[in-house]
Structure 1
């Protein structure tokens, strides 16, 4: 059939130039499609922003209506490369954008290059083919929560092979010999110092396993998924059964490894790092200690991946009442309760003159310390605080990043939480306990479903504690090695070592051992050797540090990037998307609240939160928990019902919505919003907070 086009053109479901973001690029002209592809005429160019998480395509079928944009949906359209408006009807451009994105969705998310023509009545697809230069697809939706922030080389050189290797082990259980076709070390990469997962590879692996390509997002974020091929699922039943058997005995397997390997190893490590012996070890001995920790981490990472997946699987199947779940074995929850108890003791001990005054002057930590040192009860509280840091000092803002200081290294986050609690108590009537603290571990209302899920929650907490402790021990070992190299002038400043890779560090330790022996001391290396090493490392470290710092100035990284070449810059979201009045995320903690927005992108940038604050953050880790408890509502860019933030929010009955992409950009300080933590819906009520009189 010959189509006589009134308007025609080509559409790219993803921008082939920027290779990131949610833009559909459309080139169009009046007439048939040959004019656009001939190159003789300059087409009108449009970019249509179709949010990846904001559009649900219908179940695949042949009905024409399913390929049309719903009447109640529209997307922002930018006209590029020309002055004023184009000649193509905006609604037609939106239909084309929806259609090409629908085709992309049908073909496992692979970006499409589509030729189209509109005859005045119907929109025709002339042909569509994959854009091979935009493969693989990289996503940070899950990576942003697993290892958030801007990653330094040493952290990545440790985490990437550990995580990818364990995922490869899990996939191989199902795939057997078929796993040999996949390079599991390509599961993750860095773009602009930010971690991304290989969505193309993961999708291919899951389909090979007979599961939907969205299986990982379904388990971790509660995302919807398409029905897999029945034939492929049946083919992999033996492998899936092997994986399910591992899930069934996961608690027993962890208990065995914990008693035989993990706890004995941790005890030996902690004894060594709790006194001055760590600083007396030679480079070779510190290298051996690093290898010992990595061997334990290899074992712990297996459980750190499988335990949350097992919890998500059981929670998704059994649908327990989440309000009955006890999270007290999770380190972030347990530490918060102890901090709150210490704050209550300090509050009772402080004299009225030391409380917050009517002029809103707040206590400083020095004032609190000075007051506590004046009485035996105060000294006992300070001893409790030291014991707390001994127990929970391994926690940090980002537990998976050894370059980030732990609470033992820098206890200011703990001090800030205590101050915040004290100032809030003095200004308002304190609640005796968070609502969920009244929930006992065992309650008559729990059914077998809640009990089955509770066992996996407990397992997740136990695994997280050991995993985070091992990473903290690794950090302290690396810092001891760095101090030795600083003393010998091999490094120029603190934190330089985090801009080396693990292989570079191990290579230098081996070189020292070969030249000077395993008992090499800081006095044994010649000035020429030090100068050679410093010259070799100096420029490399400086270049990496400068690049890492520069990446942090580019704005929020995109959630999707395409292709193997590093992206050249961050493309800002269109103004039209920033002016939406409603946002949809994942409801993670029930309840409704109206409050004023406060956007915080790093823990270092926050002060005391006012009552009624709805906190917007990029992600949540264990170190964020003290801040989250002060909010009246929580919005995060990533995560789901099992995120750290969601768990803390439910524990303290704070309404929370997870997985609102780019929310730290879209929401502005002072905006008043209505947040529904049950449905995941957020509505902007007004742009600025106006206090009532």
Structure 2
């Protein structure tokens, strides 16, 4: 069909009627007042025979397409159908003619204002002309540029056209059912002008604006009175409830005061927040930010993170975190309201949040000034953990023995969980159900004495050196520490790149192919033997890792080694400039040992022996800090391997489309699918969850703290007032200058020697990029986060908790990073060397 009345459309008609028309039909179906009308479908547009060549489209070609559309004679049957539908609206009715593209009003590309709208059109001939002009606007210069900027193929462009009876509007405008500036769900914002509302949408006038807060009586003024505003608020609330999300609404009010709706679409840019269970204002801290995950989690990944955090819940609940984690569209939150409002718990919560994901703690501290979070309790000192000092002292005296023993026992603990290989799917399922909790709690269950001894030795040494050494000088003693699984991984990959360079055939492969080609060659056994053998050895040890590795649903390097080959190519290129990461790391270790000797020399005579003993012991033991996470990833890899086996089984039976879809099921759903064949709805549920996941993956900014009314409190550090100066938190000491390299996906990025890595956050999967980097800048992080720990060990400056760093710093911009002061100066020339 080429012409369809709006009331006959369903949610399945998006491809032929477009999102706008389908939304109008949905509003009609829910009983809202929508002007009558019809849609001229994409099938009608297809009949005029537009042909577009593949690739870029220049202005001349677009102009030619527009001219051809406007000159085209419409088929007689289409002319009759549009004329008949128009006359059904009333003789010579005034109508609005608007686009309704299937690609319009999407989360990732709204196409707002890209296509033409024609108002107050009367007469069938004029309506037909307006339809053709809407079609032609699909090829306007602005629409073509918009598609090009969003990477959309022009050949896929299609358009339907909505024709609706005009409302004789006394006033019209737009309504946001949440406050688009503050994000508050408790407020709506309306903008209005007299007459039709097109001037509001186009920005041609300054409209009257109204903030409708809660149940307060609205303040009528301008072109809307209090009664109008009450009706708008009621309609907005009903739309939001009916469509299950905040809405962006276009409306018109006629002379009788009736509210007519001419468009609604979800406000998908608003960050999703949990609903308060009791209606009171609540504060939430992002588990994603805490984990350094600036992307949503797969459902299975979220399940496993919840299990991991339950293993650590005793301490977290003691400082005000909720015992359970809430999941909204793949974003996980702790309810931190208790800790914010309790003066006894807040200091520990603030310190914990800033240590791991600054400036989260400072944002939380700022909430204490909000009268809605009335303070309770009295600040008091935490008793601290109980320790057995005998084993700790033994670790100090024999640190290498303690380190080796801790590594051996930790790996034995993980290997013991692997167990025999089950055969049938039901056995695989039983193994997963029996072991997933234990695997997720590996970090909490590993032997801790040597690790604790290292951290305690460092803190005690710092106390002994108070007055003779600043914290940065003490931190400098921990560059190049041994036995850190993360730095060992990075250096192992560097050595593999150097070995490949020394082998002519392997070197030629790295220099002449991209990472995807090399990964495919590796998969099919076509790589040069030395390079293939090196990759086998590397993946056998570190294939469990990947960027954003805390999401079990993401493929590991062992599943897809493309990011590893990308790093190898970058390392080989860096080596050709004379750069040597292994030598740099060794030099950092020598400098650290010299720093230890210098600080011991400065210490008062009666403290020298103890300070030197503790610093030396701490250096031998501090690398163990990264061991629990590595062991967890080994367990994750085994758990993921078995889940994927079940995914293959379910895909083979047609329960799932593909094996990886298993990561979009819950454990209960997996059990039902494996044992009972499922309920037949698994594929649809997976598709729906994947769509949400892919939509949310497009978000560029993830707030660390959100309130249940949608507000996002911000951290505004005291600065110099200079636009060329950014402030964060000192993560690793030192001063370095170089061009900034903005990176959001470490799997495809390369860092040239001397560049400054600027990114949202880091985890061990990012650290291979550190080898070449002159410095590191992150939007979140803390003194004990993985990124700052590794940066200190490599001896490169790091500044963390720099709000908006990836947008305020431009790719290639020269910047100077002062890791001792926690500052970034923009526009400075590179300093010589590192």
Q: Structure 1: how far apart are the matches of 2:426 and 2:721?
A: 53
1:271: how far off?
7.2
Corresponding residue of 1:6: none
Report whether the alignment pairs 1:233 with 2:400: no
Corresponding residue of 1:50: none
Mapped contact 2:300–2:665 kept (Cα < 8 A): yes
Report whether the alignment pairs 1:477 with 2:642: yes
Corresponding residue of 1:140: 286
Corresponding residue of 1:556: 701
Corresponding residue of 1:631: 773
Structure 1 residues 479 and 202: alpha-carbon distance in aligned structure 2, compared to 1, 3 A threshold: farther
Q: Structure 1: how far apart are the matches of 2:183 and 2:449?
A: 36
Report whether the alignment pairs 1:390 with 2:543: no
Q: Which one has a bigger Cα radius of gyration? A: 2
Q: Structure 1: how far apart are the matches of 2:746 and 2:659?
A: 21
Q: CA RMSD in A?
A: 4.8
TM-score of the aligned structures, taking structure 2 as reference length: 0.53
Corresponding residue of 1:492: 657
Higher relative contact order (CA 8 A, sep 6+): 1
Report whether the alignment pairs 1:662 with 2:804: yes
Q: CA-to-partner distance for each residue in 1:261-314, whole Å, 9 max, x for gaps?
A: 964553355575xxxx56x44233333244224224335345599999997776
Structure 1 residues 246 and 456: alpha-carbon distance in aligned structure 2, compared to 1, 3 A threshold: farther
1:206: how far off?
8.0
1:414: how far off?
1.8
Report whether the alignment pairs 1:617 with 2:759: yes
Q: Structure 2: how far apart are the matches of 1:308 and 1:203?
A: 31
Structure 1 residues 433 and 450: alpha-carbon distance in aligned structure 2, compared to 1, 3 A threshold: same
Q: Structure 2: how far apart are the matches of 1:369 and 1:505?
A: 31
Mapped contact 2:284–2:337 kept (Cα < 8 A): yes
Mapped contact 2:294–2:702 kept (Cα < 8 A): no
Report whether the alignment pairs 1:412 with 2:562: yes
Report whether the alignment pairs 1:603 with 2:739: no
Q: CA-to-partner distance for each residue in 1:181-232, whole Å, 9 max, x for gaps?
A: x88433x333442333333234467825x95441313543687888999975
- Give the match's secondary structure for 1:651: helix
Q: CA-to-partner distance for each residue in 1:469-519, whole Å, 9 max, x for gaps?
A: 11111111111111111111111124211111223224545x44xxxxxxx
- Give the match's secondary structure for 2:788: helix
Report whether the alignment pairs 1:267 with 2:389: no
Structure 1 residues 579 and 665: alpha-carbon distance in aligned structure 2, compared to 1, 3 A threshold: farther
Q: Structure 2: how far apart are the matches of 1:327 and 1:507?
A: 49
Q: Structure 1: how far apart are the matches of 2:759 and 2:574?
A: 22
Q: Structure 2: how far apart are the matches of 1:484 and 1:471?
A: 20
Mapped contact 1:620–1:644 kept (Cα < 8 A): yes
Mapped contact 1:489–1:534 kept (Cα < 8 A): no
Report whether the alignment pairs 1:201 with 2:355: no
Structure 1 residues 270 and 579: alpha-carbon distance in aligned structure 2, compared to 1, 3 A threshold: farther
Q: Structure 1: how far apart are the matches of 2:322 and 2:507?
A: 62
Mapped contact 2:733–2:797 kept (Cα < 8 A): yes
Q: What is the number of residues matched between the two proteins? A: 517
Mapped contact 2:728–2:802 kept (Cα < 8 A): yes
Mapped contact 2:184–2:711 kept (Cα < 8 A): no
Structure 1 residues 635 and 562: alpha-carbon distance in aligned structure 2, compared to 1, 3 A threshold: same
Report whether the alignment pairs 1:433 with 2:582: yes
Corresponding residue of 1:501: 666
Q: Structure 2: how far apart are the matches of 1:568 and 1:539?
A: 33
TM-score of the aligned structures, taking structure 1 as reference length: 0.63
Report whether the alignment pairs 1:349 with 2:503: yes
Mapped contact 2:817–2:824 kept (Cα < 8 A): yes
Q: Structure 1: how far apart are the matches of 2:217 and 2:766?
A: 56
Corresponding residue of 1:190: 327
Mapped contact 1:581–1:683 kept (Cα < 8 A): yes
Structure 1 residues 496 and 142: alpha-carbon distance in aligned structure 2, compared to 1, 3 A threshold: closer
Q: CA-to-partner distance for each residue in 1:146-188, whole Å, 9 max, x for gaps?
A: 555210111112211330x22333357xx6xxx9xx88433x3
Mapped contact 1:554–1:569 kept (Cα < 8 A): no
Q: CA-to-partner distance for each residue in 1:352-405, whole Å, 9 max, x for gaps?
A: 99499xxxx755569989999xxxx96345323312211111111122111111
Structure 1 residues 579 and 302: alpha-carbon distance in aligned structure 2, compared to 1, 3 A threshold: farther
Report whether the alignment pairs 1:217 with 2:353: yes
Mapped contact 2:728–2:799 kept (Cα < 8 A): yes
